[in-house]
Protein backbone atom coordinates (compact mmCIF):
# COMPACT_ATOMS: atom_id res chain seq x y z
CA UNK A 1 0.00 0.00 0.00
CA UNK A 2 1.41 3.37 -1.06
CA UNK A 3 0.62 6.25 1.29
CA UNK A 4 1.78 9.80 0.66
CA UNK A 5 1.70 13.29 2.11
CA UNK A 6 2.11 16.50 0.12
CA UNK A 7 1.78 20.17 1.00
CA UNK A 8 0.59 21.32 -2.42
CA UNK A 9 0.34 25.05 -1.65
CA UNK A 10 -3.05 25.42 -3.39
CA UNK A 11 -4.77 22.34 -4.76
CA UNK A 12 -6.36 24.20 -7.66
CA UNK A 13 -3.10 25.84 -8.74
CA UNK A 14 -1.22 22.51 -8.69
CA UNK A 15 -4.08 20.28 -9.84
CA UNK A 16 -2.40 19.19 -13.07
CA UNK A 17 0.85 18.46 -11.21
CA UNK A 18 -0.97 16.41 -8.59
CA UNK A 19 -2.83 14.53 -11.33
CA UNK A 20 0.36 13.75 -13.23
CA UNK A 21 2.03 12.50 -10.07
CA UNK A 22 -0.96 10.32 -9.17
CA UNK A 23 -0.94 8.82 -12.65
CA UNK A 24 2.79 8.08 -12.36
CA UNK A 25 2.86 6.75 -8.79
CA UNK A 26 -0.68 5.41 -8.27
CA UNK A 27 -0.86 5.99 -4.49
CA UNK A 28 -3.57 4.28 -2.49
CA UNK A 29 -3.88 7.17 -0.05
CA UNK A 30 -2.75 10.77 -0.48
CA UNK A 31 -2.93 13.38 2.28
CA UNK A 32 -2.84 17.00 1.12
CA UNK A 33 -2.09 20.14 3.11
CA UNK A 34 -2.43 23.84 2.41
CA UNK A 35 -5.22 23.24 -0.09
CA UNK A 36 -6.32 26.91 0.24
CA UNK A 37 -9.93 26.38 -0.82
CA UNK A 38 -13.32 26.07 0.83
CA UNK A 39 -15.00 22.68 0.75
CA UNK A 40 -17.53 23.59 -1.95
CA UNK A 41 -14.75 24.68 -4.31
CA UNK A 42 -12.45 21.70 -3.78
CA UNK A 43 -12.02 19.74 -7.05
CA UNK A 44 -13.43 16.55 -5.55
CA UNK A 45 -15.00 15.36 -8.81
CA UNK A 46 -11.60 15.47 -10.49
CA UNK A 47 -10.15 12.98 -7.99
CA UNK A 48 -13.31 10.88 -8.04
CA UNK A 49 -12.89 10.49 -11.79
CA UNK A 50 -9.43 9.10 -11.05
CA UNK A 51 -11.00 6.47 -8.77
CA UNK A 52 -10.57 8.15 -5.39
CA UNK A 53 -12.88 8.97 -2.51
CA UNK A 54 -12.29 12.43 -1.03
CA UNK A 55 -12.72 14.01 2.40
CA UNK A 56 -11.86 17.65 2.95
CA UNK A 57 -11.66 20.36 5.56
CA UNK A 58 -10.99 23.58 3.73
CA UNK A 59 -10.52 27.28 4.25
CA UNK A 60 -10.46 30.12 1.73
CA UNK A 61 -6.95 31.25 0.77
CA UNK A 62 -5.33 29.61 3.81
CA UNK A 63 -4.64 26.23 5.38
CA UNK A 64 -6.91 23.34 4.40
CA UNK A 65 -6.36 19.57 4.54
CA UNK A 66 -7.73 16.64 2.56
CA UNK A 67 -7.44 12.88 2.28
CA UNK A 68 -8.02 11.08 -1.02
CA UNK A 69 -8.18 7.30 -1.02
CA UNK A 70 -8.85 4.38 -3.35
CA UNK A 71 -10.15 2.50 -0.33
CA UNK A 72 -13.27 3.17 1.70
CA UNK A 73 -12.97 6.07 4.15
CA UNK A 74 -14.72 5.68 7.51
CA UNK A 75 -15.04 7.44 10.87
CA UNK A 76 -14.00 10.87 9.64
CA UNK A 77 -12.96 13.49 12.20
CA UNK A 78 -12.42 17.09 11.15
CA UNK A 79 -10.45 19.08 13.67
CA UNK A 80 -9.66 18.00 17.18
CA UNK A 81 -13.08 16.50 17.86
CA UNK A 82 -16.26 15.43 16.09
CA UNK A 83 -18.44 15.94 19.15
CA UNK A 84 -20.77 18.85 19.80
CA UNK A 85 -19.43 19.50 23.27
CA UNK A 86 -15.93 20.90 23.01
CA UNK A 87 -13.84 23.14 25.17
CA UNK A 88 -13.06 26.75 24.27
CA UNK A 89 -9.51 25.78 23.26
CA UNK A 90 -10.72 23.19 20.75
CA UNK A 91 -13.10 25.75 19.26
CA UNK A 92 -10.29 28.27 18.93
CA UNK A 93 -7.84 25.82 17.37
CA UNK A 94 -10.40 24.37 14.98
CA UNK A 95 -10.98 27.74 13.31
CA UNK A 96 -7.90 27.05 11.22
CA UNK A 97 -8.45 23.93 9.13
CA UNK A 98 -5.33 21.94 9.93
CA UNK A 99 -6.39 18.44 10.96
CA UNK A 100 -8.43 15.67 9.41
CA UNK A 101 -8.41 11.96 10.24
CA UNK A 102 -10.18 8.78 9.23
CA UNK A 103 -10.05 4.99 9.26
CA UNK A 104 -8.94 3.38 5.99
CA UNK A 105 -8.23 -0.33 5.56
CA UNK A 106 -7.72 -0.88 9.31
CA UNK A 107 -5.36 2.10 9.45
CA UNK A 108 -5.95 5.34 11.29
CA UNK A 109 -4.83 8.06 8.89
CA UNK A 110 -4.17 11.39 10.60
CA UNK A 111 -3.33 14.31 8.33
CA UNK A 112 -1.92 17.48 9.93
CA UNK A 113 -0.78 20.89 8.81
CA UNK A 114 1.10 22.25 11.81
CA UNK A 115 1.24 26.07 12.06
CA UNK A 116 4.50 27.64 10.92
CA UNK A 117 4.83 29.92 13.92
CA UNK A 118 6.39 32.87 12.06
CA UNK A 119 9.03 33.78 14.65
CA UNK A 120 9.96 32.67 18.15
CA UNK A 121 8.80 35.90 19.81
CA UNK A 122 5.43 36.10 18.04
CA UNK A 123 1.87 35.28 19.03
CA UNK A 124 1.84 32.84 16.11
CA UNK A 125 4.61 30.87 17.77
CA UNK A 126 2.59 30.59 20.99
CA UNK A 127 -0.31 29.38 18.87
CA UNK A 128 1.92 26.76 17.23
CA UNK A 129 3.02 25.31 20.56
CA UNK A 130 -0.53 25.38 21.87
CA UNK A 131 -1.69 23.56 18.71
CA UNK A 132 1.00 20.88 19.04
CA UNK A 133 0.19 20.32 22.72
CA UNK A 134 -3.48 19.96 21.83
CA UNK A 135 -2.55 17.47 19.10
CA UNK A 136 -0.70 15.40 21.70
CA UNK A 137 -3.79 15.38 23.92
CA UNK A 138 -6.01 14.53 20.95
CA UNK A 139 -3.85 11.51 20.14
CA UNK A 140 -3.87 10.41 23.78
CA UNK A 141 -7.66 10.46 23.73
CA UNK A 142 -8.21 8.96 20.28
CA UNK A 143 -5.61 6.21 20.05
CA UNK A 144 -5.56 2.79 21.61
CA UNK A 145 -2.37 0.83 22.15
CA UNK A 146 -3.12 -1.63 19.36
CA UNK A 147 -4.22 0.93 16.75
CA UNK A 148 -2.41 0.93 13.41
CA UNK A 149 -1.63 4.58 12.82
CA UNK A 150 -0.10 6.77 10.13
CA UNK A 151 0.39 10.34 11.36
CA UNK A 152 1.59 12.53 8.53
CA UNK A 153 1.73 15.97 7.04
CA UNK A 154 3.62 19.23 7.05
CA UNK A 155 4.92 19.56 10.61
CA UNK A 156 6.90 22.76 10.02
CA UNK A 157 9.60 21.36 12.32
CA UNK A 158 12.98 19.85 11.51
CA UNK A 159 13.28 17.09 14.14
CA UNK A 160 17.09 17.40 14.39
CA UNK A 161 20.01 19.34 12.99
CA UNK A 162 20.60 16.78 10.23
CA UNK A 163 17.21 17.81 8.84
CA UNK A 164 18.45 21.33 7.98
CA UNK A 165 20.94 22.34 5.32
CA UNK A 166 22.79 24.81 7.59
CA UNK A 167 21.85 23.97 11.18
CA UNK A 168 24.23 26.47 12.79
CA UNK A 169 22.63 29.30 10.84
CA UNK A 170 19.14 28.44 12.08
CA UNK A 171 19.95 27.19 15.58
CA UNK A 172 17.24 28.22 18.01
CA UNK A 173 15.13 29.79 15.27
CA UNK A 174 11.70 28.97 13.93
CA UNK A 175 11.20 25.32 12.89
CA UNK A 176 14.48 24.41 14.63
CA UNK A 177 14.02 25.57 18.23
CA UNK A 178 14.26 23.35 21.27
CA UNK A 179 10.73 24.33 22.26
CA UNK A 180 9.27 23.12 18.96
CA UNK A 181 11.25 19.91 18.97
CA UNK A 182 10.16 19.14 22.52
CA UNK A 183 6.54 19.79 21.54
CA UNK A 184 6.93 17.42 18.59
CA UNK A 185 8.50 14.77 20.81
CA UNK A 186 5.51 15.15 23.13
CA UNK A 187 3.28 14.31 20.17
CA UNK A 188 5.40 11.32 19.18
CA UNK A 189 5.97 10.10 22.77
CA UNK A 190 7.99 7.13 21.61
CA UNK A 191 4.87 5.53 20.16
CA UNK A 192 5.64 6.45 16.55
CA UNK A 193 8.49 5.79 14.13
CA UNK A 194 9.90 8.41 11.79
CA UNK A 195 9.57 6.35 8.60
CA UNK A 196 12.26 8.18 6.65
CA UNK A 197 14.95 7.73 9.31
CA UNK A 198 14.55 3.96 9.24
CA UNK A 199 16.11 3.95 5.79
CA UNK A 200 18.28 7.06 5.72
CA UNK A 201 20.46 8.15 8.66
CA UNK A 202 22.40 10.93 6.95
CA UNK A 203 21.75 14.59 6.29
CA UNK A 204 21.16 16.13 2.87
CA UNK A 205 17.57 14.97 2.33
CA UNK A 206 14.97 17.72 2.19
CA UNK A 207 11.22 17.97 1.59
CA UNK A 208 10.92 21.79 1.51
CA UNK A 209 12.92 24.49 -0.21
CA UNK A 210 12.11 28.18 0.19
CA UNK A 211 11.02 29.90 -3.01
CA UNK A 212 13.52 32.64 -2.28
CA UNK A 213 17.27 32.87 -2.86
CA UNK A 214 17.47 29.95 -5.31
CA UNK A 215 17.10 27.55 -2.38
CA UNK A 216 16.20 24.55 -4.53
CA UNK A 217 18.91 25.18 -7.10
CA UNK A 218 21.46 25.46 -4.29
CA UNK A 219 19.87 22.49 -2.44
CA UNK A 220 19.34 24.54 0.71
CA UNK A 221 16.35 22.73 2.11
CA UNK A 222 14.70 21.37 5.23
CA UNK A 223 13.02 18.07 6.05
CA UNK A 224 9.78 19.21 7.65
CA UNK A 225 7.24 16.87 5.98
CA UNK A 226 7.00 13.58 7.82
CA UNK A 227 5.18 10.27 7.94
CA UNK A 228 5.17 8.72 11.39
CA UNK A 229 3.85 5.18 11.81
CA UNK A 230 2.92 3.31 14.96
CA UNK A 231 5.44 0.73 16.13
CA UNK A 232 3.13 -2.17 15.33
CA UNK A 233 3.48 -1.28 11.64
CA UNK A 234 7.28 -1.39 11.65
CA UNK A 235 7.54 -4.86 10.11
CA UNK A 236 5.21 -3.75 7.30
CA UNK A 237 7.28 -0.71 6.31
CA UNK A 238 9.16 -1.40 3.07
CA UNK A 239 10.32 2.05 1.99
CA UNK A 240 10.06 5.79 2.53
CA UNK A 241 11.14 8.27 -0.12
CA UNK A 242 10.98 12.00 -0.73
CA UNK A 243 9.81 12.62 -4.29
CA UNK A 244 12.00 15.68 -4.72
CA UNK A 245 11.67 15.75 -8.51
CA UNK A 246 8.20 17.30 -8.05
CA UNK A 247 9.96 20.45 -6.88
CA UNK A 248 11.32 20.77 -10.44
CA UNK A 249 7.87 21.30 -11.95
CA UNK A 250 6.97 24.60 -13.55
CA UNK A 251 5.49 26.75 -10.76
CA UNK A 252 5.79 23.93 -8.19
CA UNK A 253 4.76 23.73 -4.62
CA UNK A 254 7.66 24.57 -2.33
CA UNK A 255 7.21 21.09 -0.80
CA UNK A 256 7.85 17.65 -2.27
CA UNK A 257 5.66 14.59 -1.61
CA UNK A 258 6.80 11.99 0.91
CA UNK A 259 5.78 8.41 0.15
CA UNK A 260 5.85 5.19 2.14
CA UNK A 261 5.15 1.63 1.10
CA UNK A 262 3.43 -0.56 3.67
CA UNK A 263 3.03 -4.26 2.94
CA UNK A 264 -0.69 -4.35 3.61
CA UNK A 265 -2.82 -6.16 1.05
CA UNK A 266 -6.34 -6.16 2.39
CA UNK A 267 -8.54 -5.74 5.44
CA UNK A 268 -8.26 -9.38 6.43
CA UNK A 269 -4.51 -9.38 6.89
CA UNK A 270 -3.24 -10.19 10.37
CA UNK A 271 -0.90 -7.74 12.03
CA UNK A 272 1.53 -9.33 14.45
CA UNK A 273 4.00 -7.23 16.39
CA UNK A 274 7.61 -8.33 15.99
CA UNK A 275 9.80 -6.94 18.72
CA UNK A 276 12.88 -7.28 16.53
CA UNK A 277 11.34 -4.82 14.08
CA UNK A 278 10.59 -2.08 16.61
CA UNK A 279 12.44 1.22 16.13
CA UNK A 280 12.23 4.54 17.90
CA UNK A 281 13.14 7.99 16.72
Mean pLDDT of the chain: 93
Question: What domains appear along the chain, each with residue ranges and CATH number?
Answer: 2-277 (3.60.10.10)
According to the model, what pLDDT value does residue 280 have? Answer: 35
Q: What is the pLDDT of residues 77-119, one digit of tens each?
A: 999 974 444 457 888 899 999 999 999 999 999 999 999 999 9
Task: Determine the Cα–Cα distance for residues 54 and 44; give it in Å rounded to an integer.
Answer: 6
pLDDT tier, 270 (very low <50, low <70, confident <90, very high otherwise): very low
According to the model, what pLDDT value does residue 266 have? Answer: 61
φ, ψ of residue 49 to 5 degrees: the values are -65, -25
Lowest mean pLDDT among 31-35, 180-184, 247-251, 262-266: 262-266
Nearest alpha-carbon partner for 42 in 57, 23, 22: 57
Q: Whole-prediction pTM value?
A: 0.93
Reply yes or no on whether the pLDDT at 271 is more than 50.
no
Q: What is the pLDDT of residues 117-163, one digit of tens each?
A: 999 999 999 999 999 999 999 999 999 999 999 999 999 999 999 99
Amino acid sequence: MLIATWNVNSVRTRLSQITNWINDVNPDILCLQETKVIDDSFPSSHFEELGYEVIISGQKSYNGVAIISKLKIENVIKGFTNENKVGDLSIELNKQKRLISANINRLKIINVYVPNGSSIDSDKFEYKIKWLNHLASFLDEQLREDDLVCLMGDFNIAPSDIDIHSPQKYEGGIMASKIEREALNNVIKGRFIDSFRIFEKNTGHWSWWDYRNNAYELNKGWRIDHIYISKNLSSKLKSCVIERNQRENLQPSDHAPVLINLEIDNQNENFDDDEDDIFEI
